[in-house]
Amino acid sequence: MRRFVVSYPLPAAGFGEPSYDAVVEAWFDSLEDLNALFFSENFQTKVDPDHSNFLDMTQGGTIISEELVIVGGRQA
């Protein structure tokens, strides 16, 4: 895993209440690295089962994406 980010919403005039408590990003160098973590025995038997202790598993979702920087010189 290259990077793990948790972003919490801030109150912002004109934007209403956020529908989530946070957004989590996990960054990997390749799909192989992502799969190595998410399909590992440790993740499958210890980490993933623990998610229901602090996440509402009926809400939210998962996307696998590739970043395309349109504006900005910094790329992670």
Of the candidates 24, 22, 37, 28, the one whose C-alpha atom is nearest the C-alpha of residue 3 is: 28
C-beta pairs of 55-59 under 8 Å, 24+ apart in sequence: 59/20
User: What is the token pair recorded at 20?
Assistant: 């989530």
pLDDT by residue (tens digit) across 25-41? Answer: 999 999 999 999 999 99
Instruction: Give me the number of domains the chain comprises.
Output: 1
Single pTM value for the model: 0.74
Q: Are 5 and 25 a contacting pair, CB within 8 Å?
A: yes
pLDDT of residue 75: 57
Predicted confidence at residue 6, as pLDDT, reads 95
Q: How far apart are CA 46 and CA 62, in angstroms?
A: 19
Domain residues for the domain of 34 are: 1-76
pLDDT, tens digit, for every residue of 40-69? 999 999 999 998 888 888 888 889 999 888
Which pLDDT belongs to residue 24? Answer: 92
